[in-house]
Amino acid sequence: MSDEYDNNKSYQAQSSEVMDGSTGSVNPDIDYVRPAEVGEQDLYHGHSFIEKWVFCQDAKVIGVQYFLTAVFTGIVGLILSWLMRLQLGFPELAGFMTAEHYYQFVTMHGMIMVVYFLTALFLGGFGNYLIPLMVGARDMVFPYVNMLSFWMFFVAVAVLMASFFVPGGPTGAGWTLYPPQTILEGTPGSGMGILLMLISLSLFVIGFTMGGLNYMITILQARTRGMTLMRMPLTVWGIFTATVLAMLAFPALLVSAIMMTLDKVLQTSFFMPTILKAGEVLEYGGGSPILFQHLFWFFGHPEVYIVALPAFGIVSDLISVHARKNIFGYRMMVWAIVGIGGLSFFVWAHHMYVSGMNPWFGFFFATTTLIIAVPTAMKVYNWILTLWRGNIRINTVMLWCLGFIVTFVNGGITGIFLGNVSVDVPLSDTYFVIAHFHMVMGIAPLMVIMGAVYHWFPLVAGKMLHEGLGKWHFWITFLGAYSIYFPMHYLGFIGVPRRYFEMYDSPYMTSAVGMNEFISIAAFIVGAAQFILVFNIIKTLKTGKKAEQNPWKANSLEWYTSTVPPEHGNFGERLPVVHRWPYDFSVPGAKDDFIPQTTAPSEVIHTEVEKT
């Protein structure tokens, strides 16, 4: 690898100049790092409580704000899933629930978990907290806009939650919001509910654009000296690529939300054909419901990777640190992230094989979809090859990473079923799909989030979370979630359709009752187990063990701040200077089994470290 990195050219050129020009010195300045091209950023430090903790411009505080708001929506989503599982497993106990309620819960659960929980948590939460720290910046480049981004998200969440309290309740159109039913009578919440949903989504996109610009430009423009793109931690690569995807994909959601609002309010017909309802022909005509689906999935499929890519990046870093081994095939990992991101814009219609679009599209989209499996598989291989010949700490963080690998591979494989057009025909719209996407973009990213929480909590709070509680949390969550979703695939094989309020009068489905009860019980337990983490955090904040600086012995810059937790401005007087990638673990000849990114080459001259 030594001669592979292009970005070393400047450094090599510099050394040869010194060799030639100086008076016979054989010790070139190997520690040379190109000077910064941009001056340092002036920061606005808050003076009052409100400026420090509410309308704060510090990306770390904004990150925590995003995190907490997203977790709040996640808890709402969790409670909704309990209610759904109560109806599906024990309908006799759910007498209070009508079909309207059920569909409203299904819809809100889906939308909350995908957009307001996972997307906001990964990009708004981890992105804000980690990007400036990991690239060696003092803050995001536009701190004020960054603050607005969070508050726009906050308003979007408030509007979304308000829809629970309007006449008719929240929309029950399914999270995909397919017209025409979304805005017609016969779907719960087709009045105020859907309007608030569309407004909330639009606000989310606006707020997210403000944040996304920050993440992208900070990564491109505000990296510290020596932090070349190919020395960035994979966490940053994942978040960066996901943000680019979001910037390109969310506009499609925004225009479809605007058009649907017009169809609803002004009776335009973007998505509405001639419709006969209750014997009356409505005042619509000529619109295309399938057009909406194309727009929605043009957003919706990249959205899957907006959640997955940050998870890929973060888990790579966690595995590398805790296996005490460099991530295997770093450059392959970077190109896989970028490649998956690019390909994700060419696969959207695999959600629409049986939608009634021209069936010839199926050939194209099945092929692109299965191509994306190749870079994804490479990432999986590289994760397990990072474990191979490592020195693996089996701690809570690593447990979540191992759980991620199992659930992600499982969900990835079932994706090959659904992506392969004719195999999708019998399985689409059944519980197989539910099981697949919960495994691959619900549980797997959640495993990464949990691992990341245990990993970075010492940095954020300066205290170590309790390991014992963490292990209980992991095992209940992993075993429970696996036993929810693994058997659920088989309901799909029977042919049990999704989005059925109740279904078991079909003769060949009676055998599914027992499994539904089992799944529901597992869901109650897994949901409740998440409060172990809440308890752990509260207990740790009160009485937990104080964390030493860099407790995991990691190399990346966030652990080398002037204080723990880092203050506003992150790095004290001087910004760090970076000399290497963040994965120099267990280098032969080095004193410790890790070499921080800030360690100059002259300090590790006798080791066999490779140039990065």
Among 25, 274, 510, 549, binds other proteins (CB under 8 A): 274
Is residue 500 within the footprint of other proteins (CB under 8 A)?
yes
Instruction: Please return the burial class of 421, using the count of CB atoms within 10 Å of its CB with bins 0-12, 13-18 and 19+.
Output: buried
Beta bridge pairs of residue 277:
280
Among 10, 22, 221, 506, binds other proteins (CB under 8 A): 506
Q: Which is nearer to other proteins, 375 or 576 (CB)?
A: 375
Phi and psi at residue 14, to the nearest 5°: -60, -45
For 276-303, give one letter per residue: b (16+ CB within 10 A) or e.
eeeeeebebeebebbebbbbbbbbbbbb
Residue 558 · residue 236 · CB < 8 Å: no
Residue 380 · residue 413 · CB < 8 Å: no
Segment 170 to 189, residues that bind other proteins, using CB under 8 A: 172-174, 178, 180-181, 184, 186-188
Q: Which is nearer to other proteins, 47 or 606 (CB)?
A: 606
Is residue 325 within the footprint of other proteins (CB under 8 A)?
yes
Residue 452 · residue 126 · CB < 8 Å: yes
Is residue 606 within the footprint of other proteins (CB under 8 A)?
no
Q: Which is nearer to other proteins, 126 or 432 (CB)?
A: 432
Is residue 490 within the footprint of other proteins (CB under 8 A)?
yes
CB of 167 to other proteins, least distance (A): 16
Q: Which is nearer to other proteins, 52 or 611 (CB)?
A: 611
Applying CB under 8 A, the site for other proteins has a residue count of: 114
Is residue 493 within the footprint of other proteins (CB under 8 A)?
yes
Read off the DSSP letter of residue 594: B
Is residue 355 within the footprint of other proteins (CB under 8 A)?
yes
DSSP-H helix ranges across 22-142 = 49, 59-89, 99-111, 128-135
Rounded Cα–Cα distance for residues 270 and 291 (Å): 8
Site string for other proteins, 440-459 (x = CB under 8 A): --------------------
Is residue 268 within the footprint of other proteins (CB under 8 A)?
no
Give the binding range for other proteins (CB under 8 A) out of 50-58, 156-164, 500-508, 536-544.
500-508
Segment 406 to 425, residues that bind other proteins, using CB under 8 A: 406, 409-410, 413-414, 416-417, 420-423, 425
Rounded Cα–Cα distance for residues 536 and 463 (Å): 11
CB of 154 to other proteins, least distance (A): 30
Q: Which is nearer to other proteins, 17 or 502 (CB)?
A: 502
Segment 366 to 395, residues that bind other proteins, using CB under 8 A: 366-367, 370-371, 373-374, 377-378, 380-382, 384-385, 387-394
Among 91, 497, 551, 601, binds other proteins (CB under 8 A): 497
Is residue 290 within the footprint of other proteins (CB under 8 A)?
yes
Is residue 512 within the footprint of other proteins (CB under 8 A)?
yes
Phi and psi at residue 503, to the nearest 5°: -150, 0
Rounded Cα–Cα distance for residues 223 and 217 (Å): 10
CB of 474 to other proteins, least distance (A): 10
Closest C-alpha among 325, 412, 372 to residue 588: 325
Among 128, 428, 536, 550, binds other proteins (CB under 8 A): 428
Rounded Cα–Cα distance for residues 473 and 460 (Å): 20
Rounded Cα–Cα distance for residues 240 and 84 (Å): 35
Q: Which is nearer to other proteins, 79 or 374 (CB)?
A: 374
Q: Which is nearer to other proteins, 206 or 385 (CB)?
A: 385
Rounded Cα–Cα distance for residues 337 and 231 (Å): 15
Rg, C-alpha atoms of the chain: 25
CB of 523 to other proteins, least distance (A): 18
HEC letters along 430-466: EHHHHHHHHHHHHHHHHHHHHHHHHHHHHHHHCEECC
CB of 271 to other proteins, least distance (A): 10
CB of 508 to other proteins, least distance (A): 5
Segment 564 to 593, residues that bind other proteins, using CB under 8 A: 583, 585-588, 593
Q: What DSSP element (H or E) covers 196?
A: helix 192-221
Strands 280-281 and 463-464: unpaired
Residue 294, CA atoms < 13 Å, CB-side half-sphere: 12
CB of 265 to other proteins, least distance (A): 19
